[in-house]
């Protein structure tokens, strides 16, 4: 909120708002956008418009993993963000659960996963996280035939996937 106003040019009648912080006056401006002779104040209901442009750097890294089973696979061996994945269950008759762990070497028979997703028999699943899911230690993934931690995994080479992370 403006503490006071200051004249642009003394006697001109034009003023601008300032915020007085410890005796120093800082200009106070309200962001707005719009075309010629129009404007909209920036707010939570009218955010500043932003246009994304494709870049060749600064995006996610991807990794393709095959044979995801009860022995965990490393997506990223240190802290990071998971932005999404696409996984395929080649088994035509058995569902599988893809479990993500925030650990470098989780025990899929007893550790509780951070995230879990069902991949139905003979189907693929694609999931994206716009803001990313943070992992404080590492991003690892395993696949089991049960939702709860257990030692039973799918057969060899039946769960494959691509993962996007940073």
Cα torsion through 3, 8, 14, 15, rounded to 10: 0
- Per-residue pLDDT reduced to its tens digit, 49-75: 887 777 788 789 999 999 998 888 999
Q: What is the residue-averaged pLDDT of the chain?
A: 86
**Which residues, at least 6 apart from 92, have a Cβ–Cβ distance to it below 8 Å?**
121, 122
Using CA atoms, how far apart are residues 26 and 18, in angstroms rounded to an integer? 5
What is the number of domains present in the chain? 2
Using CA atoms, how far apart are residues 137 and 71, in angstroms rounded to an integer? 18
Residue 157: what pLDDT?
86
Q: Is residue 154 part of a domain?
A: yes
Quickly count: other Cβ atoms within 10 Å of residue 163's Cβ: 24
Q: Are residues 100 and 135 in the same domain?
A: yes
- Position 9 pLDDT exceeds 90: no
Using CA atoms, how far apart are residues 46 and 149, in angstroms rounded to an integer? 45
Q: Are residues 33 and 73 in the same domain?
A: no
Q: Is residue 49 part of a domain?
A: no
Structural domain for 136, as ranges: 63-165
Q: Are residues 72 and 133 in the same domain?
A: yes
Least confident of 13-22, 59-68, 82-91, 98-107: 13-22
Q: For residue 80, what are the β-bridge partners?
A: 135
Q: Are residues 87 and 160 in the same domain?
A: yes
Residue 1: what pLDDT?
52
Q: Is residue 107 part of a domain?
A: yes
User: What CATH number has the domain bearing residue 131?
Assistant: 2.60.120
Cα torsion through 153, 155, 156, 162, rounded to 10: -60
Average pLDDT over residues 135-151: 88
Q: Are residues 92 and 13 in the same domain?
A: no
pLDDT band at 26; cut points 50, 70, 90: confident
Q: Are residues 157 and 112 in the same domain?
A: yes
């Amino acid at each position: 909120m403006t503490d006071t106003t200051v004249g642009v040019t003394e006697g001109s009648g034009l003023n601008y708002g300032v915020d007085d912080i410890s005796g120093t006056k800082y200009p106070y401006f309200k962001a707005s956008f719009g075309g010629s002779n129009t404007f909209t104040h920036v707010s939570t209901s009218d955010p500043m418009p932003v246009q994304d442009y494709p870049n060749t750097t600064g995006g996610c890294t991807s990794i393709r993993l095959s044979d995801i089973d009860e022995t965990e696979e490393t997506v990223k061996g240190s802290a990071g963000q998971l932005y999404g994945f696409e996984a395929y269950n080649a088994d035509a008759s058995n569902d599988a659960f893809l479990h993500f762990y925030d650990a470098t070497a989780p025990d899929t028979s007893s550790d509780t996963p951070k995230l879990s997703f069902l991949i139905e028999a003979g189907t693929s699943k694609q999931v994206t996280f716009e803001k990313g899911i943070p992992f404080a230690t590492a991003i690892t993934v395993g696949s089991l035939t049960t939702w709860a931690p257990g030692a039973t995994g799918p057969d060899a080479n039946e769960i494959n996937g691509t993962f996007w992370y940073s």
